[in-house]
Amino acid sequence: MQRKTVTLCDLTEPLEGEIDEGMKEKKSICVFCGSSGRVDEAYRQAATQFGTLVGEKGYDLVYGGGHVGLMGITADAALAAGASVLGVIPKFLQDYEVGHDGLNELIVTDNMHDRKRIMYERSDAFVILPGGLGTMDETFEVVTWTQLGLSAKPVVIANINGFWDPLIALVDHLVQTGFARDENRSILQIADNVGDIFPKIAAAPVSHGKVDSKWV
C-alpha cells in the first residue's frame, strides 16, 4: 500500500465541506480516543473490535493519525479489516514520531485547530471511545457545533464498562441546572458496548440546535 501524505501548506484548493448539515450517507466514521498506552485491557479490546467492525461493515476511518494508544490500535484493526484509513496529525506531534506510517492517507496540519476542522470535514459520524482531555475537547467541539445548528452528524459515545458515566452525569447536570436544554442531551447517543455503536449511528436523530435556543 502506498501512503499519500499531505501537509496543509501543500493544499492548493480549499478542503471541501464547510460545517454543514451532515452527510446523508454515513460512510466515513471519525473516532476520538486516547493516545495513552497505560490503559485497561478492556479498552484496548474495544478499540480492536471497533476498528475491525469499521472495515467489515465497509466504512472508512478518520482519526488523529497516531500509532500509539487506542488511536493506533483502532487504526491497525481497521486497516487489517480492509478499511481505508485517514489520519490527521499536527506537525508538532508528527515531529515527535508518533504519526502512523502505514495509513492510506496522512494529512499533517500546522495546528490543532486545523486538525479538528479537517477531521470534521472528512467524516460523516463521530464515535467516542475512552480517552482523556484531548478526546473530550474534540467531542465537545462537535457537540457544540450541533447545539448551535452548524452540524447534524451523529455523535455516539462508546461507554465501555461505564467509562463515560461521569461525563454523561455531568451533561445531565447541565440540563438539570438550566445550563443546557433538554434537546441538547440527545445530541450524545450512548452505546453501552461496541456492537451497539453502528445501530446508534444509523438511528441517530438528525437534529439541529438553534443559535437563539442557547440564550432563551
Confidence check: pLDDT of 152 > 50: yes
Give how far the C-alpha of residue 84 lies from the chain's centroid of Cα atoms, to the nearest Å.
Answer: 16
Q: What is the DSSP letter of 99?
A: B
Residue 175 domain-assigned?
Answer: yes
Domain that holds residue 139: 25-214
Total structural domains within the chain: 1
Contact in structure between 147 and 184 (CB atoms under 8 Å): yes
Residue 189 domain-assigned?
Answer: yes
Q: What is the pTM of this model?
A: 0.86
Termini Cα distance of the chain = 53
For 29, the 3-state DSSP assignment is strand
Residue 12 domain-assigned?
Answer: no
Residue 48 domain-assigned?
Answer: yes
CATH code for the domain in which residue 50 is found:
3.40.50.450
Q: Nearest 5°: CA angle at 145, between 142 and 150?
A: 130
Residue 6 domain-assigned?
Answer: no
Residue 100 domain-assigned?
Answer: yes
Half-sphere exposure of 176 (CA within 13 A, CB side): 6
What is the distance between the alpha carbons of residues 5 and 65, in angstroms, rounded to a whole number?
11
Report phi then psi at 13, rounded to 5: -125, 150
Residue 13 domain-assigned?
Answer: no
pLDDT in tens, 52-90: 999 999 999 999 999 999 999 999 999 999 999 999 999
Q: What's the pLDDT score for residue 11?
A: 43
Residue 147 domain-assigned?
Answer: yes
Q: What is the DSSP letter of 43?
A: H
**Which whole number is the average pLDDT over 187-202?**
95
**Grid coordinates representing 42?**
478492556
